[in-house]
Amino acid sequence: MTQYIGILTAGGDSPGLNAAIRGVGKAGMNAYGMHVIGFRDGFRGLMENRIVRLDSKELSGILTVGGTILGTSRDKPHKMPVGDKNLDMTSVIIDTYEKHHLDALVCLGGGGTQKNAYRLAQHGLNIVTLPKTIDNDVAMTDITFGFDTALTIATEAIDRLHSTAHSHHRIIVVEIMGHNAGWLALGAGIAGGADVILIPEIPYDVEKVAEAITQRSRSGKHFSIVAVSEGAMSQELAKRLNAAEENIAKAKDKAEKKKYKAELAEIEQERMQSTPVLTTQLEALTGLESRVTILGHVQRGGIPSAADRLLATRLGTACTHYIHENIFGVMVAVRGDDTEPVPLEQVVGKRKTVPPDHPWLDSTRNLGVSLGD
């Protein structure tokens, strides 16, 4: 019996999305005789019934293309912007799913997408997800596609910044993406030979960072590269953030909770400005000229690496196997050289962060690189 499957990409764009779409589409058609359609712009396109037929012609030539041919958005099924309101459009999405007689819906995305897909699974849709994000923070999988490409881009940026830092005897502070997980900054910092690496999992003491840089200067090394995750923060800011979160949990009524949530939002705004503030502080404490470089969305773009193309293709083809076997409500997780279907309830609401005993941290400390603690 022919199976009909839909596919969408949601959340931030990421290298390897097109490779995954191609993997699902081509394996579905060639190995199992499936009919495949795509929905444009994530869950919004699913709600609006905007489709594209993913035949051989549409899937041809997209393996090396960055971004996603389907487009993406961060809209949520249960909080969809419609006019000037946010409405629960789950029932409309279910209607679209049934209209196309779908046997499964494949959702490619990060933590938010996994959560939104899980909600649809709870409403009876046959869901399979693939873990995509440059942040590498999706729980229950060894790695996500998109991470390797972003890691390479960030490492190359640090490589290039070494020459200007050395020439001008400067401190170069480079902010690397990663949300609230330090995988990208840590990996790129090690691979790029950064002298200080600051990640969200280890709040930093700016005095100790400055001391590490000053010691380098005294030993004749008149420049330093500081790799900073966008979610990194000082120990003082971390204490305030933890206190605000505790106050929210202990709040006795809605008014009190609203007050503490407002405080938390202000702290998060400060956190977003931590890198420029850190750069100014380091210049004052060390007497060395300091400059900040924020890599931003350049880490998401361009041709996906060979590793990400391979990983996304593996996940895409494995996805069609699980659909063929009627295994639903799962994320296709990476397990070494193999894959494993993990129930979505084990994935949602979790974030994979750098554990304190991770070998990358051991290597960093053994190299004499400062982590700011």
Instruction: Express each pLDDT in 314-362 by its tens digit.
Output: 999 999 999 999 999 999 999 999 999 999 999 999 999 999 999 999 9
Give 227-262 pLDDT, tens digit per residue: 999 999 999 999 999 988 888 888 888 888 888 888
What pLDDT is stored for residue 301 in this prediction? 86
* Average confidence (pLDDT) over 218-226: 92
Please name which of 290, 268, 269, 267 lies closest in space to residue 279, comparing C-alpha atoms. Answer: 290
Q: Using CB atoms within 10 A of its CB, is residue 149 exposed (0-12), middle (13-18) or buried (19+)? A: buried
* Average confidence (pLDDT) over 288-316: 94
| Catalytic entry in 75, 135, 148, 195 | 135
* Average confidence (pLDDT) over 192-208: 97
* Average confidence (pLDDT) over 276-295: 95
What pLDDT is stored for residue 169 in this prediction? 85
What pLDDT is stored for residue 172 in this prediction? 96
* Average confidence (pLDDT) over 306-319: 98
* Average confidence (pLDDT) over 209-223: 92
> Domain 150-300 sits in which CATH superfamily?
Phosphofructokinase domain (3.40.50.460)
User: Around 305, how many Cα atoms within 13 Å sit in the side-chain half-sphere?
Assistant: 17
Ranges for all domains in the chain classified under CATH 3.40.50.460 = 150-300
* Average confidence (pLDDT) over 130-151: 97
* Average confidence (pLDDT) over 291-296: 93
What pLDDT is stored for residue 234 in this prediction? 95
As a 3-state breakdown, the chain gives helix, strand, coil percent values, each rounded to 5, of 45, 20, 35
Share of the chain above pLDDT 70, in %: 100
Per DSSP, the three-state class of 141 is: coil
* Average confidence (pLDDT) over 74-85: 92
Tell me how many helices (H) and strands (E) the chain has. 13, 13
**Is 90 exceeded by the pLDDT of residue 138?**
yes
What pLDDT is stored for residue 167 in this prediction? 84
- According to CATH, the topology of domain 4-145+304-346 is Rossmann fold (3.40.50)
**Is 90 exceeded by the pLDDT of residue 279?**
yes
Q: Which residue has the tokens 């609230």?
A: 180
**Is 90 exceeded by the pLDDT of residue 309?**
yes
What pLDDT is stored for residue 224 in this prediction? 95
What pLDDT is stored for residue 107 in this prediction? 98
135 classed as catalytic: yes
d(CA 195, CA 188): 12
Per DSSP, the three-state class of 199 is: coil
Ranges for all domains in the chain classified under CATH 3.40.50.450 = 4-145+304-346
Q: Which residue has the tokens 């873990």?
A: 131
| 360 compared with 266, residue with greater pLDDT | 360
Per DSSP, the three-state class of 51 is: strand
The helix-helix angle for 90-99 and 111-122 (nearest 10°) equals 70
Mean per-residue pLDDT over the chain, rounded: 95
What pLDDT is stored for residue 330 in this prediction? 98
* Average confidence (pLDDT) over 194-209: 97
